[in-house]
Structure 1
Amino acid sequence: MKIVSWNINSVRFRIDIVERFLREVQPDVLCLQETKVIDADFPFETFRALGYEHILIHGQRMHHGVAIVSRVPVSEDDRFDWQANREARHIGVRLANGVRIENVYVPAGGDVPDREVNAKFGQKLDFVQRMTDWSAALDCPTILTGDFNIAPLPSDVWSHKALLKVVSHTPVEVEALDRLQASNDWIDLGRHFHPAPARLHTWWSYRSPDWTKNDRGRRLDHMWATGDVAKSATRHHVFEDCRSWIKPSDHVPIMTEFAF
């Protein structure tokens, strides 16, 4: 089974590259973040025409939004309000084999890494803490994936030294993500198959006119699994070439293959 996560940064605006990706890679399950569309306007027919009959969405006008589309049966399981303000940032499903897939879009956190002067940063840390509380009580086989908006390891960014005070790689964020990972002994599948310091970037800013020239990437997108599920993982891939497609997202898809 191929499970993909992709912050698409508007599913309707980028539906052409989504369709291309599905045709070329043919994943079984696609988890999308930042769909930026209300539920009624989601492009259902495009996905159904490609064989993705099972579509579960949690939309919001213009901002945020998550979705899971699948060509294998899934049932909706949960929608957690880890932001505590009803933003559409999570949707979870259960596969027929009982494995849960939790698709999450963690807040970016603004520009200043200080919760006293930047409320968005505090909201991000609180979001991750609510995830940690949920994780600590989790007792079923689970895949946790999405845009975590945190690059935890020094090799997860183009320059550890340059980004230590930049939101997404600050020590306080990394420590928060470490606590989340430790709360249920999550296996980071990206680094399981591509141990540090291997290159494994998933995001490049739109601000650069040529992202390949300065190559200032960060690994913001992750796929984790509880230990029982991680044993079934066989491969993890980052589709870096997608960053050069027409009208690309600033994120690229990541995919883990499982032997179940």
Structure 2
Amino acid sequence: MSFTLATWNINSVRLREALVLKLLAEESPDVLCLQECKSPVDKMPLDAFAEAGYGHVVARGQKGYNGVAILSKIPMAEAGSQDFATLGHARHVAGTLENGVTVHNFYVPAGGDVADRSVNEKFGQKLDYLTDMRDWFRDSRPEKSILVGDLNIAPREDDVWDHKKLLKVVSHTPVEVEHLAETQEAGGWVDVTRRDIPEGRLYSWWSYRAKDWDGADKGRRLDHIWASADIEQAGHSSRILRDARGWEKPSDHAPVFASFDL
């Protein structure tokens, strides 16, 4: 079975319902993983998504912040969720497709503005969340699995607009990059996006603060698609839909895509 998967931090699924429907209509991914839905599940516009052909859903929601959802054309069974770092946040949900592939959808904490856990509790929570992810994947090494989401870390020098200027900025600090690498290694995950696009600057997020986000192009690659080692060779055709960042009332993230032949 061949299928295309997309991941997108939507920054309020209710506010941007029309943009989700636009993406579904124009790009027609088989599976769409959303983060930062900012809504309880019963308030998400799931009926509209079902009418668009995405009737299979697993989701975790919260009022006003966090929240993750997987929308699928392909039959999908609930595969649980984890509360890493015991934050009580809706930041992870998993679903298993009818071909046996389990999709993990993550929204890793952003970490606040100061890269020092002694003065910034949110930064500590981010590191603890990644540590718990690492330990979980080490204890139950994933097979036939895909991990996607807003991981809130741009790990490579060419995943940010200026490596040296961002070394002390949350999302690109060495300690965060190290934690993410340990999580990836513990699960045997392969970064499908960078395997397909190994060279050059690549971004999936541009700040709302930039008046001309496209011209300034001060982006970061915060959104990721990983595959477990046993199926990573089945992944291909990775891309980032940069144009979506320029849609009317957009999210500050752009959707990331990959296809799999399994």
Q: Same fold (TM over 0.5)?
A: yes
Aligned to 1:78, the other structure's residue is in SS state: coil
The aligned counterpart of 2:47 is 45
> In 2, distance between residues paired with 1:128 and 1:135?
11
- Which TM-score applies when normalising by structure 2? 0.97
Offset from partner CA, 1:14-56 (integer Å, 9 cap, x none) = 1111111100110000000000011111101110111111011
The aligned counterpart of 1:258 is 260
Aligned to 1:252, the other structure's residue is in SS state: coil
Offset from partner CA, 1:136-187 (integer Å, 9 cap, x none) = 1224211011000000000000000110000000000001011111112211
The size of the alignment, in residue pairs, is 259
The aligned counterpart of 2:146 is 143
Offset from partner CA, 1:61-97 (integer Å, 9 cap, x none) = 0000000010100001111001312100000011112
Offset from partner CA, 1:195-214 (integer Å, 9 cap, x none) = 03x12100000001110121
2:104 is aligned with 1:102: yes
> In 2, distance between residues paired with 1:240 and 1:38?
28
Which of 175, 178, 181 matches 1:175?
178
2:169 is aligned with 1:166: yes
Structure 1 residue 229: Cα displacement: 1.5
Give the counterpart letter for 2:40 in structure 1. I
The aligned counterpart of 1:80 is 82
> In 1, distance between residues paired with 2:249 and 2:80?
32
Contact kept in structure 1, 2:142 and 2:228, CA below 8 Å: no
Identity of aligned residues (%): 49
> In 2, distance between residues paired with 1:180 and 1:235?
24
Structure 1 residue 216: Cα displacement: 0.3
- Which TM-score applies when normalising by structure 1? 0.98
2:197 is aligned with 1:189: no
The aligned counterpart of 1:23 is 25
> In 2, distance between residues paired with 1:19 and 1:208?
26
The aligned counterpart of 2:213 is 211
Structure 2 gaps, min length 5: none
> In 2, distance between residues paired with 1:106 and 1:249?
17
Which of 132, 152, 159 matches 1:130?
132
> In 2, distance between residues paired with 1:162 and 1:135?
32
RMSD: 0.9
Aligned to 2:231, the other structure's residue is in SS state: helix
Runs of 4+ in 1 over 3 A off after TM superposition: none
> In 2, distance between residues paired with 1:40 and 1:183?
35
> In 1, distance between residues paired with 2:223 and 2:142?
24
Aligned to 2:126, the other structure's residue is in SS state: helix
Which of 155, 158, 161 matches 1:155?
158
Structure 1 residue 129: Cα displacement: 0.5
> In 2, distance between residues paired with 1:72 and 1:29?
7
> In 2, distance between residues paired with 1:208 and 1:5?
23
